[in-house]
Chains A and B, each alone.
Chain A
């Protein structure tokens, strides 16, 4: 039985289960020795050897120094040693530095086997949490050996398989359920034949499609097996209904040939159970029975979930053709299932990404709000005030600030084009420019400030011309209180200002020009100056208020309504004004969406 060659399996986190499930099914006539390298704590090594040893039909050893690879024994590498090998199959332990933080390291063993065995070596990488094994697998491949990686989808921890796939481009990526198929296949083929089978372009899925034949009579199993043996699929045998169900759950066959009359559990019952379980309900079943010609039985068989019903003894050609059909169907369903699960994975990814974005937006909002002065902060300059700030999204394009320079107070309210992230970025830039101009250059007069801002803005975006929209920019209202002289100065780009002066409400007109990269460089804003008395009030606001749709007819709120509203309550305490404004806006909005950021500042001098 013994053939030239060796199978070397490497795994880390999540691979012990794979091994435990695999070992019991490796057939007794398996022709190669198997070496297993697992990352593990040296403390539990004795248990592991015991657990695995009990599981398998083959002999399992923990490697002792200078043991020889023999027969189809299984060799487990001890904890805390690297394993090396020479061309005669002599296993050598090595107690040198860890590699990839691991001893044993899979790379070390793979390297050594690649050198000693060349093309007579098959390397397998299982589930694991680091990249150990990937470089070694590549070495095995370059030396002409076969390489196989557990599919990341079927790995508990996919890091190691992913690394191995990327770095070594293995010959096969195999679902964990299919491993046993590979080992079965290897029973009848040399590594070389196995490779040529792969090279013939037969996809792995093809090679490893598997058929379960079920019959209580061994003779029948034997004949069927002989009949189908030369076909391109793996055959498993079960001699009872119960065994068939157990095996089907584990192996996801592509077709089951099922005898009807069996003791304990007959074929109909088996088919019913299989068609009810998620793991097995898609496996096509063909009944094969001496009852094949009875009409009622055939119908009953189909009712139980079978695809077809053949009489015994079957016509070989017909049977093979029907099996082929089943394999085709199974391949399709499996493909569909894979697509389905990748759709689900995509969906999960998207919602995870959404959650991430939401979280960073929330974070950005905190940053932005920290930059905008709080209502309380205004109290140190004015008798009374309010700030009504409602960004449309969690971060906004509206901003405001107040600066003090000697006896002057500069109050600014701006609205950047866009809301959300682009808007927020623009507010940062604008605030930055304003701070530089006032604190750095000492510019306090509103019109001069706007003129300078226009130039700075152009500079800031000079290099980015192509990537921003032509009219991306900012509209901004500035008023400067000259406290010594009790005067107030206004200048504004597109934002009207309301000035409650005595019992008059004056609407201060804005220059109808926005500050943006397209604006002429030397534009000069107009300046307005008024006396201001204690009790006078200033209202600065962005267009989110007046542009808001709502009311009974879905109209914009409009400037006129705002003026009337403010006129009606400008004598009231500022905080009361805020609540009234808020209420009015909410009622107005009703079920309409908020269309833009909303900002209104009210100041009592």
Chain B
């Protein structure tokens, strides 16, 4: 036997998505199919599931199981100071275009376990802007937000983070911002004071505030083009004039109508500015 478990194709994926929607209300219809297929397949291989019915019985049995399944299929990988050069550019923008905003309002959409938000808080602190900032950090997934709130991470990746941080043209040492407790890296509570963590579903929830910076990196890649455009419109509507929109390094506005309404601020690191 080559494959013991069931093989997921587009058809099966569609059925699973419907089942999730009927069962939990979460709407994955417009997610990018190949990613979902891969995540479904991974889960099914992991649990040695041999039919859709078996899967539905498993995840339908209790809400806990459904949540666990949804958490399994959304990708939460993240890093501190990922793409260090991106953060370098943000530093520059903070000192120029964004310097006078008070309060400076920032939205991290799809913040996952928070590494990206803490990275932002650190550079705000260094530019002495943190106390005047309000950061909204949102994600669809409550359990990653719980981790984000704690600001405690495994020691395993800290060397990579230190290096990223240095490459972002840092002025300090990253270890100025954390302590190691019980084998974990714990970020100073001071960084967290201005961050509001909350669930927000980009698919179904709408504009809830106006922002000077919206950071949404490596989230749109999980959506199909149509959903990307809807969400990009939401971002556009949530930006103050001259506000910044930052996407992941391989994402773009190219296919979106709001492309006309934004100026490219940095092409390589995917930062746009809303026309004033």
Contacts and interface: CB of A to CB of B under 8 A. Distances in A.
A52 interface: no
A87 interface: yes
B250 interface: yes
Nearest to A103: B77
Nearest to B167: A43
Interface in B12-43: 32-35, 37-39
Interface string B233-249: 00000000000000011
User: Which of A66, A78, A81, A85: most chain B CB closer than 10 A?
Assistant: A66
Contacts of B255: 66
Given A94-B35, A94-B38, A108-B38, A64 B75 contact: no
Given A78-B250, A84-B35, A65 B220 contact: yes
Nearest to B255: A66
A93 interface: yes
A93 B37 contact: no
A120 to B, nearest CB: 15
A116 B250 contact: no
B9 A93 contact: no
Interface string A44-65: 0000000000000000001111
Nearest to A46: B268
A65 B252 contact: yes
Main secondary structure of the interface of B (DSSP, over half): loop
Contacts of A86: 10, 32-34
Interface string A73-115: 0000010010011110000111111000000000010011001
A62 B252 CA distance: 13
A151 B108 CA distance: 48
A94 B74 CA distance: 11
A336 interface: no
Given A92-B221, A97-B77, A142-B2, A66 B228 contact: yes
B131 interface: no
B107 to A, nearest CB: 20
B38 A81 contact: no
Given A95-B218, A96-B77, A64 B38 contact: no
A112 B38 contact: yes
B125 interface: no
Given A65-B251, A78-B250, A142-B2, A95 B77 contact: yes
A87 to B, nearest CB: 7
B248 to A, nearest CB: 7
A93 B9 CA distance: 18
Contacts of B37: 112, 115
Nearest to A81: B250
A28 B225 CA distance: 31
Interface residues of A, number: 23
B252 A64 contact: yes
Contacts of A62: 250
A95 B222 CA distance: 9
Given A64-B254, A66-B255, A95 B248 contact: yes
Given A66-B255, A116-B34, A95 B9 contact: no
Contact of B250 (A65, A87, A112, A142): A65
A353 to B, nearest CB: 38
A111 B248 CA distance: 24
Nearest to A85: B34
Contacts of B228: 66
B251 A64 contact: yes
Contacts of A64: 250-252, 254
B225 A66 contact: yes
User: Which of A63, A65, A87, A92: most chain B CB closer than 10 A?
Assistant: A65
Contacts of B248: 65, 95
A84 B38 contact: yes
Interface string A127-162: 000000000000000100000000000000000000
Contacts of B250: 62-65, 78, 81, 93
B221 A93 contact: yes
Contacts of B252: 64-65
Contacts of B33: 86
B96 to A, nearest CB: 25
A92 B34 contact: yes
Given A65-B221, A115-B9, A92 B254 contact: no
Given A64-B251, A86-B34, A94 B9 contact: no
A130 B32 CA distance: 30
Contacts of A95: 75, 77, 218, 221, 248
Given A63-B250, A78-B250, A87-B10, A92 B2 contact: no
Interface string B36-66: 0111000000000000000000000000000
B272 to A, nearest CB: 15
Contacts of A65: 220-221, 248, 250-252
A276 to B, nearest CB: 50
Nearest to A88: B33
A94 B75 contact: yes
Nearest to B228: A66
Contacts of B9: 115
User: Which of B7, B35, B248: most chain A CB closer than 10 A?
Assistant: B35
A111 B10 CA distance: 14
Contacts of A84: 32, 34-35, 38
B35 A92 contact: yes
A96 B75 contact: yes
A491 to B, nearest CB: 66
Contacts of B222: 94
Nearest to A84: B34
A95 B248 CA distance: 10
Contacts of B38: 84, 94, 96, 108, 111-112
A63 B228 CA distance: 17
A79 to B, nearest CB: 10
Interface string A414-435: 0000000000000000000000
Interface string A1-20: 00000000000000000000
A467 to B, nearest CB: 41
Interface of B: 2, 7, 9-10, 32-35, 37-39, 75, 77, 218, 220-222, 224-225, 228, 248-252, 254-255
Given A66-B224, A92-B34, 10 more contacts: A66-B225, A66-B255, A78-B249, A86-B10, A86-B33, A86-B34, A94-B34, A96-B38, A96-B39, A108-B38
Leading 3 A-B pairs by shortest Cβ distance: A84-B34, A96-B75, A95-B218
Interface of A: 62-66, 78, 81, 84-87, 92-97, 108, 111-112, 115-116, 142
28 contacts: A62-B250, A64-B252, A64-B254, A65-B248, A65-B251, A65-B252, A78-B250, A81-B250, A84-B32, A86-B10, A86-B32, A86-B33, A92-B34, A92-B35, A92-B221, A93-B250, A94-B221, A95-B75, A95-B77, A95-B221, A95-B248, A96-B35, A96-B38, A97-B75, A112-B34, A112-B37, A115-B7, A142-B2
